A and B are shown apart, each in its own frame.
Chain A
């Protein structure tokens, strides 16, 4: 097991290097530059943009810049944003709590919906409940989040005036009012993301459980006279969850990555909105840091998913 872990981690190093190189080169070759606002303003002499380019090291060859970036990253220096001149790790840490809160809650909501609904629907396939659940799941993941987001705003903010549609990070109210303010502003973004995710996961859980439900060992368990609860809980769900775990684990890095569209609609200051504004401003160090951390997380969660398999299915061994 330890050897397996070490081997996997060693394999991860070249993949990460490759990913970072590709990311860096693509960003460097992409059109646009962080100082276009300077260049298109007639009252700013071109020398200013040139001085800044020199200062930020943008005139060096790409490979040299990549090398500098890599060395700094290995020392824990993520660089600083060209746009706000703030260190990138500070920017990311400012956004992380909000992202974890909103996206994390939405993923939990998605699981809370998907697991019971998916399992129940699979145990009674083609029943009325299954039909309704499938229809809603289908609608849920078919509608794009920008659409459901706008519909929710239209209903709850504009028509009913129940919920705010601008997310605030500086809620000053204390006590229950403060708690409610935090919850109220999170309801719509969490619903939008959670139901979207929940929809596709429900379909997945249902299919996975349905595959297992008719296997012989389930019939054996039933004929042994085991309680239905035990049959479902220990024999069906545990086996059926293996593919679900992969899907969920691979989804978890997105909790960090944020939800670009939804964050934009509700003005949630998360990582996603940081990424999109960095892209629009050609703020390479920020884009690089976010995408690279994201790549690391994807690789890490892949590994975690593989390890979880072993726990869920003792037949899998690691060598």
Chain B
């Protein structure tokens, strides 16, 4: 689909001949993310659809307590130190951003009076500034008014390197100034198409100036409010025991009428995912459990007990196999997998294409992940044009054999294919995790049938995902031929996500293996597209660039996508939970209620 066709589609939505949902689904089918699709509508001036979530309670409170179970327990309540989702979720009970992301990737105002657009003057034509109007009449839990000063302070706090916040990059990218008590302006150094990062969603939680002013920079650890938060959110702090319990009670002055429904919330931590699922769906001791990375078979079994249901939150996380472009077995400049080497056989397109059809995604989805892992052909999206060429999402050992035969890889005496003395023998690494080991087996068996011998390696997650420079088994060192893990898409915009394939991000010794490009793939065309997307303000053109980038990655089999993974949660029957895969699971806690 070219640019003109996209523009016509948008016009159809504007004219009402096509619904917003149809448009978004069409875009998703094309491989765009839902947030991007709705951003396209938003920028083109098509009004947002009303949120489909229906909030029935007609008064504030009266809902009693709600008990939620986070099996990884929250350990801190300062949103700008909260690296893990557990801490971000716990902080979100108390703190709020200017706007939340909803499940379709729309912005929903929370502490903002409205979402900035070009039409309402919030977005500048040159893409270098954003003006947010704040909601009036909002107070902190201690009664002090919420104003633009708090937003400006949050920016100062989070962008100060001495404070060492985890979201420092987001806030260093902007300059924030106060226009009046209820208006702030964000200025960017260069045109920024993805402007909704600071003050939005997980990274956007605003902290009160009057409580943190003394604790900016070096002494940030000492702030009493780190452990006893004072926010603007629907619930107020009661008790916090790191690693065990967060308790909060209703905020009687919450800024949204009739919200929240529950009188108190208790977030219990600890234990394991299976028993968390059990406590909701089988015994009903708890109302909601988060992050149930449990074998699908067990989850379905527990759901049969009938006390609760599974919830799926669709983000952009993808379980994929990476192919190494460099030689993991040759040491150059004190490191293996150096960019000065090339992989002996994985750089052969035929081998890559063969591997691509040897991964039985449908079976992996059906027998291992179930609804928590959907088979996919794409890294970010679903390009139809890719399917029309020979690298499809199908699983076909015969095709793989033909590809290898044609490229001159002939079976040796031991059944393993070889060419010019190079054997198709590879190591396949991943972290220790039951579904991953099962996937490894499925792939290994298919590879063996095609004459590729595979050594499986399972590395402890704490080692595999560590940044320990001294350890050879980390995923960023990639001292293996292929490896598999899930890449998380932390924001509803693929720009950062796609930085995993640009040449200047290659993970090497020089950058302590902190580069994002793990496969060490280099492609000038891709680099150019990425740079173009970085400053492309036209969302339609930008979308087309992202599609092209994904296609390049898939066409060259830089990675083999396996399954697209939503987050899994469980809620007790009757509990209405508004959830979004693009934001914290606690983002819409104010809208939760129990059906009576």
* A residues apposed to B, CB below 8 Å: 31-33, 35-49, 51-52, 55, 80-81, 83-86, 91, 94-95, 153, 157-158, 161, 164-166, 168-170, 264-265, 267, 269, 273-274, 277, 280-282
Residues of B within 8 A of A161 (CB): 283
Cβ 8 A contact of A273, one of B170, B227, B270, B468:
B270
Q: Which residue of B lies closest to A172 (CB)?
A: B65
Q: How far is the CA of A81 from the CA of B242 in the complex (A)?
A: 10
Cβ–Cβ contact B166 & A31, under 8 A = no
B108-116, B243-251, B367-375 - interface stretch:
B243-251
Given A265-B271, A273-B243, CB of A166 within 8 Å of CB of B514: no
In contact, B247 and A267 (Cβ under 8 angstroms)? no
Whole-angstrom distance between the Cβ of A81 and the nearest chain B Cβ: 7
Report the separation of the CA atoms of residues A95 and B247 in the bound assembly, to the nearest whole angstrom.
Answer: 17
Alpha-carbon separation in the docked complex, A169 to B268 (Å): 9
Taking a contact as CB atoms under 8 Å apart, the answer to whether A32 and B463 are in contact is yes
Q: Which of B170, B247, B516 contacts A42 (CB 8 A)?
A: B516
Tell me the residues in window 244-291 of chain B with beta carbons closer than 8 Å to chain A beta carbons: 244-245, 247, 266, 268-272, 275, 278-279, 282-283, 285-286
| Complex alpha-carbon distance, A43 and B475, angstroms | 17
What would 24 A/B residue contacts be, using CB atoms closer than 8 Å?
A: A32-B466, A33-B468, A36-B466, A36-B467, A37-B84, A38-B467, A42-B516, A44-B83, A44-B169, A47-B161, A48-B166, A49-B467, A51-B161, A51-B162, A81-B242, A164-B283, A169-B241, A267-B268, A269-B243, A269-B244, A269-B270, A273-B243, A277-B73, A277-B75
Residue of A nearest to B221 (CB): A85
B164 on the A face (CB < 8 A): yes
Tell me which of A42, A47, A52, A166 contacts B499 (CB under 8 A): A42
B76 interface hit (Cβ, 8 Å): yes
Indicate which residue in A52, A55, A94, A282 contacts B241 across the interface (CB closer than 8 Å): A94
B interface residues with partner A (beta carbon < 8 Å): 69, 73, 75-76, 81, 83-84, 161-162, 164-170, 218, 221, 226-227, 239, 241-245, 247, 266, 268-272, 275, 278-279, 282-283, 285-286, 462-463, 465-468, 470-471, 475-476, 487-488, 490-491, 496-497, 499-500, 511-512, 514, 516
Checking A35, A85, A95, A281 against B467 with a beta-carbon cut-off of 8 angstroms, the contacting residue is A35
Q: For A95, list chain B residues within 8 Å (CB).
A: 244
The CA of A170 and the CA of B245, in the complex, are separated in Å by: 9
Given A165-B283, A267-B271, A273-B270: A44 in contact with B166 (beta carbons within 8 A): yes
Contact of A46 among B270, B279, B512 (CB under 8 A): B512
- How far, in whole Å, are A192 and B555 apart by their CA atoms in the complex? 57
CA gap between A153 and B488 in the complex, in Å: 35
User: In the bound complex, do residue A165 and residue B490 qualify as a contact, i.e. CB atoms below 8 Å apart?
Assistant: no
Beyond A91-B243, A269-B270: 19 further Cβ-contacts under 8 Å? A33-B466, A38-B166, A40-B465, A40-B476, A41-B490, A42-B497, A42-B499, A43-B170, A43-B496, A44-B169, A45-B169, A55-B218, A166-B69, A166-B268, A170-B245, A170-B266, A264-B272, A267-B271, A269-B244
A39 touches B83 (CB 8 A): no
> How many Å lie between the Cα of A41 and that of B269 in the bound state?
23
User: Chain B residues with Cβ under 8 A from A46's Cβ?
Assistant: 511-512, 514
- Give the nearest-CB partner of A42 in chain B: B516
How many A-B pairs fall under 8 Å by CB? 148
Q: A84 and B499: CB pair below 8 A?
A: no
Q: How far is the CA of A55 from the CA of B499 in the complex (A)?
A: 29
Please report the C-alpha to C-alpha distance between residue A273 and residue B242 in the assembled complex, in whole angstroms: 11
A157 CA / B278 CA spacing, docked (Å) = 10
- The 10 A-B residue pairs with the shortest CB-CB distance in the complex, in nearest-first order: A39-B467, A269-B244, A84-B75, A84-B242, A36-B466, A46-B514, A267-B271, A267-B270, A51-B164, A37-B83
Smallest CB-CB separation from A38: which chain B residue?
B83
Q: Shortest Cβ distance from A64 into chain B, in angstroms? A: 18
Contact (Cβ within 8 A) A170 B169? no
Verify B270–A168 contact, CB threshold 8 A.
no
**A275–chain B nearest beta-carbon distance, Å:** 11
* B168 CB contact (under 8 Å) in A45, A91, A153: A45
Question: How far is B221's CA from A55's CA once the two chains are assembled, in angstroms?
Answer: 10
Contact B462 A32, beta carbon cutoff 8 Å: yes
Taking CB as reference atom, which chain A residue is nearest B77? A84
Shortest C-beta distance, B45 to chain A (Å), equals 30
Q: A80 CA to B75 CA in the complex, in Å?
A: 13
Closest partner residue, chain B, to A91 (CB atom): B242
Chain A contacts for B496, CB-based, 8 A:
42-43
- Assembly CA distance A49 to B168 (angstroms): 11
Within 8 Å CB of A164, what residues of B? 283, 285
Contact B466 A48 (CB under 8 A): no
Q: Is the beta-carbon distance between B283 and A158 smaller than 8 angstroms? A: yes
B76 touches A84 (CB 8 A): yes
In angstroms, how far is the closest chain A Cβ from the Cβ of B68? 12
Contact residues in B for A80 (Cβ distance below 8 Å) = 221
Q: Name the one of A35, A38, A55, A170 contacting B247, with C-beta atoms under 8 angstroms.
A: A170
Compute how far the CA of A83 lies from the CA of B243 in the bound complex, rounded to whole angstroms.
Answer: 10
